[in-house]
Amino acid sequence: MKTAIIRLIKEVQFRSPLRRYFFPRFVYCMTAPQLCFLCECLENTRGVPGSVVEVGCASGSTTIFLNKYMDAQGITKDYFVIDTFSGFVQEDIAHEVSERGKQTSSFRGFQVNKKEWFDATMKMNGIHSVQSIQADVNTFDLSRLGPISFCLLDVDLYRPVKNSLPPLFKALADGGILIVDDCNPNDIHFDGACQAYKEFCEERGYRQKVLLGKLGIVAKAEERSPEPVCQPQGEDGL
Protein backbone atom coordinates (compact mmCIF):
# COMPACT_ATOMS: atom_id res chain seq x y z
CA MET A 1 0.00 0.00 0.00
CA LYS A 2 2.78 2.43 0.91
CA THR A 3 4.60 1.76 -2.37
CA ALA A 4 1.39 2.33 -4.33
CA ILE A 5 0.78 5.67 -2.60
CA ILE A 6 4.35 6.81 -3.26
CA ARG A 7 4.04 5.77 -6.89
CA LEU A 8 0.75 7.73 -7.20
CA ILE A 9 2.35 10.84 -5.69
CA LYS A 10 5.31 10.59 -8.09
CA GLU A 11 2.94 10.16 -11.02
CA VAL A 12 1.03 13.31 -10.02
CA GLN A 13 4.32 15.19 -9.70
CA PHE A 14 5.47 13.92 -13.09
CA ARG A 15 2.32 15.15 -14.82
CA SER A 16 2.49 18.52 -13.07
CA PRO A 17 3.92 21.58 -14.89
CA LEU A 18 6.28 21.81 -11.89
CA ARG A 19 7.78 18.37 -12.44
CA ARG A 20 11.22 19.89 -13.07
CA TYR A 21 11.33 20.70 -9.35
CA PHE A 22 10.41 17.16 -8.26
CA PHE A 23 12.76 15.08 -10.39
CA PRO A 24 16.56 15.07 -10.44
CA ARG A 25 18.19 17.92 -12.32
CA PHE A 26 21.73 19.14 -12.93
CA VAL A 27 21.62 22.34 -10.88
CA TYR A 28 25.16 23.63 -11.39
CA CYS A 29 26.31 26.59 -13.47
CA MET A 30 29.42 24.58 -14.32
CA THR A 31 29.90 21.47 -16.40
CA ALA A 32 30.84 18.16 -14.79
CA PRO A 33 34.49 18.47 -15.99
CA GLN A 34 34.69 21.98 -14.53
CA LEU A 35 33.43 20.74 -11.15
CA CYS A 36 35.91 17.87 -11.26
CA PHE A 37 38.70 20.34 -11.98
CA LEU A 38 37.80 22.36 -8.87
CA CYS A 39 38.18 19.14 -6.90
CA GLU A 40 41.61 18.61 -8.49
CA CYS A 41 42.57 22.08 -7.27
CA LEU A 42 41.48 21.16 -3.75
CA GLU A 43 43.69 18.08 -3.95
CA ASN A 44 46.64 20.07 -5.32
CA THR A 45 46.37 22.54 -2.44
CA ARG A 46 45.71 19.94 0.27
CA GLY A 47 49.10 20.59 1.83
CA VAL A 48 49.00 24.38 1.38
CA PRO A 49 48.24 26.21 4.63
CA GLY A 50 45.16 28.37 4.67
CA SER A 51 41.41 28.37 4.23
CA VAL A 52 39.15 27.61 1.27
CA VAL A 53 37.22 30.65 0.09
CA GLU A 54 34.23 30.90 -2.24
CA VAL A 55 33.37 34.44 -3.32
CA GLY A 56 29.89 34.37 -4.83
CA CYS A 57 27.86 31.27 -4.01
CA ALA A 58 24.24 31.86 -5.14
CA SER A 59 22.10 29.20 -3.43
CA GLY A 60 25.06 27.02 -2.48
CA SER A 61 25.01 24.07 -4.91
CA THR A 62 28.73 24.29 -5.65
CA THR A 63 29.45 24.87 -1.96
CA ILE A 64 27.73 21.58 -1.13
CA PHE A 65 29.56 19.73 -3.90
CA LEU A 66 33.01 20.94 -2.85
CA ASN A 67 32.41 20.36 0.85
CA LYS A 68 31.15 16.83 0.24
CA TYR A 69 34.31 16.20 -1.78
CA MET A 70 36.50 17.59 1.00
CA ASP A 71 34.71 15.45 3.59
CA ALA A 72 35.10 12.29 1.48
CA GLN A 73 38.80 12.99 0.93
CA GLY A 74 39.59 14.01 4.49
CA ILE A 75 40.50 17.60 3.61
CA THR A 76 39.85 19.62 6.74
CA LYS A 77 40.08 23.39 6.36
CA ASP A 78 38.13 26.49 7.27
CA TYR A 79 35.67 27.28 4.50
CA PHE A 80 34.46 30.85 4.01
CA VAL A 81 31.67 31.94 1.68
CA ILE A 82 31.00 35.58 0.77
CA ASP A 83 27.90 36.77 -1.05
CA THR A 84 25.39 39.61 -1.00
CA PHE A 85 22.66 36.94 -0.84
CA SER A 86 20.49 39.42 -2.74
CA GLY A 87 21.95 39.54 -6.25
CA PHE A 88 24.28 42.02 -7.93
CA VAL A 89 24.81 45.39 -6.26
CA GLN A 90 23.51 48.44 -8.14
CA GLU A 91 26.96 50.01 -8.59
CA ASP A 92 28.21 46.90 -10.38
CA ILE A 93 25.18 46.81 -12.67
CA ALA A 94 25.49 50.54 -13.39
CA HIS A 95 29.11 50.04 -14.47
CA GLU A 96 28.14 47.23 -16.85
CA VAL A 97 25.44 49.42 -18.39
CA SER A 98 27.24 52.78 -18.58
CA GLU A 99 30.81 51.60 -19.23
CA ARG A 100 30.38 48.26 -20.97
CA GLY A 101 27.19 48.74 -22.99
CA LYS A 102 25.15 46.01 -21.31
CA GLN A 103 21.42 45.88 -20.63
CA THR A 104 20.12 46.15 -17.07
CA SER A 105 17.75 43.25 -17.71
CA SER A 106 20.73 40.88 -18.04
CA PHE A 107 21.58 41.17 -14.35
CA ARG A 108 18.35 40.45 -12.49
CA GLY A 109 19.34 36.94 -11.47
CA PHE A 110 20.31 35.65 -8.02
CA GLN A 111 17.98 38.14 -6.28
CA VAL A 112 15.73 35.47 -4.78
CA ASN A 113 18.13 34.41 -2.05
CA LYS A 114 18.77 34.88 1.67
CA LYS A 115 21.70 34.12 3.94
CA GLU A 116 19.26 32.32 6.23
CA TRP A 117 18.26 29.99 3.39
CA PHE A 118 21.89 29.33 2.50
CA ASP A 119 22.84 28.49 6.09
CA ALA A 120 19.83 26.20 6.48
CA THR A 121 20.73 24.46 3.20
CA MET A 122 24.22 23.71 4.53
CA LYS A 123 22.82 22.24 7.75
CA MET A 124 20.24 20.21 5.83
CA ASN A 125 23.11 18.63 3.89
CA GLY A 126 25.13 17.88 7.00
CA ILE A 127 27.71 20.62 6.35
CA HIS A 128 28.79 22.52 9.45
CA SER A 129 32.22 23.87 8.51
CA VAL A 130 31.06 26.68 6.20
CA GLN A 131 31.13 30.24 7.52
CA SER A 132 28.88 32.48 5.43
CA ILE A 133 29.48 36.22 5.28
CA GLN A 134 26.92 38.61 3.83
CA ALA A 135 28.88 41.43 2.22
CA ASP A 136 29.70 43.40 -0.91
CA VAL A 137 33.14 42.21 -2.03
CA ASN A 138 33.90 45.68 -3.41
CA THR A 139 34.11 47.00 0.15
CA PHE A 140 34.69 43.91 2.32
CA ASP A 141 38.19 43.47 3.79
CA LEU A 142 39.17 40.23 2.02
CA SER A 143 42.53 40.16 3.80
CA ARG A 144 40.63 38.95 6.88
CA LEU A 145 40.30 35.56 5.18
CA GLY A 146 44.01 34.98 4.62
CA PRO A 147 46.01 32.95 4.27
CA ILE A 148 44.00 31.26 1.50
CA SER A 149 44.95 27.91 -0.02
CA PHE A 150 42.19 27.76 -2.63
CA CYS A 151 39.68 30.35 -3.80
CA LEU A 152 36.82 30.26 -6.28
CA LEU A 153 35.92 33.80 -7.37
CA ASP A 154 32.51 33.69 -9.03
CA VAL A 155 30.96 37.16 -9.03
CA ASP A 156 30.46 37.41 -12.82
CA LEU A 157 30.79 41.16 -13.41
CA TYR A 158 33.77 43.41 -14.13
CA ARG A 159 33.79 45.68 -11.09
CA PRO A 160 33.63 43.08 -8.29
CA VAL A 161 36.21 40.83 -10.01
CA LYS A 162 38.50 43.82 -10.64
CA ASN A 163 38.28 44.91 -7.00
CA SER A 164 38.50 41.41 -5.51
CA LEU A 165 41.45 39.95 -7.40
CA PRO A 166 44.31 42.05 -5.90
CA PRO A 167 43.43 41.48 -2.21
CA LEU A 168 42.59 37.81 -2.80
CA PHE A 169 45.90 37.25 -4.59
CA LYS A 170 47.74 39.00 -1.77
CA ALA A 171 46.02 36.72 0.76
CA LEU A 172 46.77 33.60 -1.32
CA ALA A 173 49.35 31.37 0.36
CA ASP A 174 52.47 30.31 -1.51
CA GLY A 175 51.38 27.38 -3.65
CA GLY A 176 47.73 28.44 -3.49
CA ILE A 177 45.34 28.47 -6.43
CA LEU A 178 42.70 31.05 -7.30
CA ILE A 179 40.06 30.31 -9.94
CA VAL A 180 38.14 33.13 -11.64
CA ASP A 181 34.89 31.83 -13.10
CA ASP A 182 33.20 33.17 -16.25
CA CYS A 183 36.43 34.03 -18.09
CA ASN A 184 34.73 33.45 -21.41
CA PRO A 185 35.12 36.41 -23.82
CA ASN A 186 32.20 35.12 -25.88
CA ASP A 187 29.69 35.35 -23.04
CA ILE A 188 27.68 38.41 -24.00
CA HIS A 189 26.41 38.99 -20.47
CA PHE A 190 29.22 38.05 -18.09
CA ASP A 191 32.36 38.82 -20.09
CA GLY A 192 33.20 41.46 -17.49
CA ALA A 193 34.86 38.78 -15.37
CA CYS A 194 37.03 37.87 -18.36
CA GLN A 195 38.08 41.47 -18.94
CA ALA A 196 38.98 41.97 -15.26
CA TYR A 197 41.00 38.73 -15.25
CA LYS A 198 42.91 39.75 -18.40
CA GLU A 199 43.70 43.18 -16.97
CA PHE A 200 44.89 41.66 -13.70
CA CYS A 201 47.29 39.36 -15.55
CA GLU A 202 48.52 42.07 -17.93
CA GLU A 203 49.17 44.55 -15.12
CA ARG A 204 51.41 42.02 -13.37
CA GLY A 205 52.98 40.40 -16.41
CA TYR A 206 51.25 37.18 -15.45
CA ARG A 207 50.53 34.43 -17.98
CA GLN A 208 46.82 34.20 -18.77
CA LYS A 209 45.48 30.68 -18.58
CA VAL A 210 41.81 29.81 -19.09
CA LEU A 211 40.85 26.16 -18.86
CA LEU A 212 37.70 24.24 -19.70
CA GLY A 213 36.17 27.19 -21.48
CA LYS A 214 35.85 29.68 -18.63
CA LEU A 215 38.05 28.98 -15.59
CA GLY A 216 40.78 31.60 -15.29
CA ILE A 217 43.77 30.36 -13.29
CA VAL A 218 45.84 32.40 -10.88
CA ALA A 219 48.44 30.25 -9.09
CA LYS A 220 50.81 31.83 -6.54
CA ALA A 221 53.63 29.62 -7.79
CA GLU A 222 53.74 28.68 -11.48
CA GLU A 223 54.73 25.10 -10.76
CA ARG A 224 51.42 24.71 -8.94
CA SER A 225 49.39 25.87 -11.95
CA PRO A 226 47.05 22.92 -12.54
CA GLU A 227 46.00 21.16 -15.71
CA PRO A 228 42.59 19.46 -15.86
CA VAL A 229 42.36 15.74 -16.45
CA CYS A 230 39.57 16.30 -19.00
CA GLN A 231 40.75 19.20 -21.16
CA PRO A 232 38.53 19.70 -24.23
CA GLN A 233 40.51 20.40 -27.36
CA GLY A 234 40.86 24.06 -28.20
CA GLU A 235 39.81 25.38 -24.76
CA ASP A 236 43.18 26.03 -23.16
CA GLY A 237 43.46 29.79 -23.56
CA LEU A 238 41.81 33.08 -24.32
- How confident is the model over 46-76, as pLDDT tens digits? 999 999 999 999 889 999 999 999 999 999 9
Between helices 192-204 and 90-100, what is the axis angle to 10°? 80
155: pLDDT strictly greater than 60: yes
What pLDDT, on a 0 to 100 scale, did the predictor assign at position 238?
Answer: 47
* Range from 13-27, 66-80, 207-221 that averages highest in pLDDT: 66-80
Average pLDDT, integer, range 22-26 = 73
Q: 97: how many CB neighbours lie within 10 A of its CB? A: 15
Average pLDDT, integer, range 160-172 = 96
Q: How many CA atoms lie within 13 A of 232 on its CB side?
A: 13
Contacts of 72 (CB under 8 A, 6+ apart): none
174: pLDDT strictly greater than 90: yes
Q: How many CA atoms lie within 13 A of 50 on its CB side?
A: 25
pLDDT classification of 99: cutoffs 50, 70, 90: confident
pLDDT classification of 33: cutoffs 50, 70, 90: very high
Q: 16: how many CB neighbours lie within 10 A of its CB? A: 11
Report pLDDT digits (tens) over 180-189: 999 998 888 8
User: Over the chain, what is the mean pLDDT?
Assistant: 88
What pLDDT, on a 0 to 100 scale, did the predictor assign at position 226?
Answer: 66
224, 177 Cβ separation under 8 angstroms: yes
What pLDDT, on a 0 to 100 scale, did the predictor assign at position 104?
Answer: 83
Dihedral angle, C-alpha 44, 61, 86, 135, nearest 10 °: -30
Residue 45: what are its φ and ψ, rounded to 5°?
-105, 15
Closest CA to 155 of 95, 87, 59: 87
Instruction: Tell me the domains of the chain and their CATH numbers.
Output: 27-224 (3.40.50.150)
pLDDT classification of 137: cutoffs 50, 70, 90: very high
230: pLDDT strictly greater than 50: no
111: pLDDT strictly greater than 90: no
